Amino acid sequence: MAEQKNQPSYMRWLPSKTTATIARCELIARGQVEGFISGRHRSPKKGFSVEFAEHRQYVPGDDLKNLDWKVLGKKDRLYIKQYMEETNLRATILLDCSGSMAYCGDEAVEFEGRRLSKFEYSKYLAAGLTYMLVGQQDGVGLVMFDDKVREYLPAKARNSQVRNILEYIDKAEPGGETQIAPIFDQIAERIPHRGLIIIISDLFDEDTVALIKALHHFHYRKHEIVVFHVMAEEEIHFPFNSFLHLQDLESPMELQLDPKSLRASYLERVQEFLKTINDGCSQMHADYVPITTKKPFDVVLTDYLARRRTGIG
């Protein structure tokens, strides 16, 4: 079905095929989150609804209706029953806007008559996740970054947040150099409540060890983490055979090289890089979702959500 011609430009990041596909999906937090309306996610705050959590001793002023009369009858002691409240989720999407995200390989998926760069592909992922999360009454925020935080939009659950985030996405262009680790440390301190951190990035950083430490910062702050690691097919498999002229997307540097002379060492370093990221995410029980832009973005989203729901992968 063709998109409506008179829609605002930012709506192009949310095609009807995507909304129809993910409307049947949902994303539920695995751990405890802090929210502000009743929902489907567990809260660390004790209340008197939904799921039993623990007993605590009665203190003067407690509501007697919450007494556990069975414990009183057995042990002749006063205990209050506490329950785990359910709440909605606060999710924050971290979208990498660094220059390396501008790369578009020949094997990238084609959409609306053009092949998608990593950045365009990531925009579609971010838009789809925003639409789904707001649709299930969860709060969504957006952080756009390269060598610094470019935009910061705190999480909100209102319907207008979809438009707000799409407008930011629509205006964004890939630009600066990559400095992921210090940016993640900064963001971890800036987000006030535990929730879900969704990272969409190629994760290109000179210091991979520092990058993993920065991810641990989110874990230390009790956030749940999902990493969508977006790379082009060519960046992983390096299929080039003829002499190459390469330009660094984050600096003026240009190189002339014979790909055959460095293929083995390049592939070894890429595999080491991917393993480091995967192992680091496993250590903190973060979801690691490796992606190449060769696969349609809506398929990537639905496959991941299906695996998450069933506990597979």
For the record, the structure tokens of 204 come out as 């290109």
Question: Tell me, what's the pLDDT at 45?
Answer: 47
| Cβ neighbours of residue 244 closer than 8 Å, sequence gap 6 or more | 255, 256, 257, 258, 259
**β-strands 287-292, 224-231: how paired?**
parallel
Distance CA 193, CA 176 (A): 29
Contact between residue 149 and residue 133 where contact means Cβ atoms under 8 Å apart: no
Q: What is the pLDDT of residues 146-167, one digit of tens each?
A: 999 999 999 998 889 999 999 9
| Band of pLDDT at residue 38, cut at 50, 70 and 90 | very low
Of residues 91 and 238, which shows the higher confidence score?
91
Is residue 48 pLDDT above 50, yes or no?
A: no
Question: Tell me, what's the pLDDT at 39?
Answer: 46
Contact between residue 74 and residue 203 where contact means Cβ atoms under 8 Å apart: no
Task: Compute the CA torsion angle 202, 204, 210, 211 (nearest 10 deg).
Answer: 0
Q: Which residue intervals of the chain bear CATH 3.40.50.410?
A: 9-32+88-310
First to last CA, the chain: 33
Which residue type does 308 have? R
Task: Write down the CATH superfamily of domain 9-32+88-310.
Answer: von Willebrand factor, type A domain (3.40.50.410)
Q: What is the pLDDT of residues 198-218, one digit of tens each?
A: 999 999 988 999 999 999 999
Of residues 39 and 67, which shows the higher confidence score?
67
Segment 225-232 shows an average pLDDT of 97
Rounded to 5 degrees, what are φ and ψ at 31? -100, -160
CB atoms inside a 10 Å sphere around CB 43: 22
Coil/strand/helix, residue 206: coil
| Cβ neighbours of residue 120 closer than 8 Å, sequence gap 6 or more | 104
- Tell me which range, 46-50, 68-72, 130-134, is most confidently predicted by mean pLDDT: 130-134
Q: What is the pTM of this model?
A: 0.79
Average pLDDT, the chain: 83
Segment 291-299 shows an average pLDDT of 95
Segment 304-310 shows an average pLDDT of 86
- The β-bridge partners of 227 are 199, 288
Of residues 32 and 23, which shows the higher confidence score?
23
DSSP code string of 133-189: HHHTT-EEEEEEESSSEEEEEEEE-STHHHHHHHHHHHH----S---HHHHHHHHHH
Contact between residue 209 and residue 277 where contact means Cβ atoms under 8 Å apart: no
- The β-bridge partners of 80 are 56, 67
Query: What is the maximal distance between C-alpha atoms in the chain?
Result: 85
Segment 244-267 shows an average pLDDT of 69
Distance CA 231, CA 202 (A): 6
Question: Tell me, what's the pLDDT at 283?
Answer: 95
- The β-bridge partners of 55 are 81
Question: Tell me, what's the pLDDT at 53?
Answer: 46
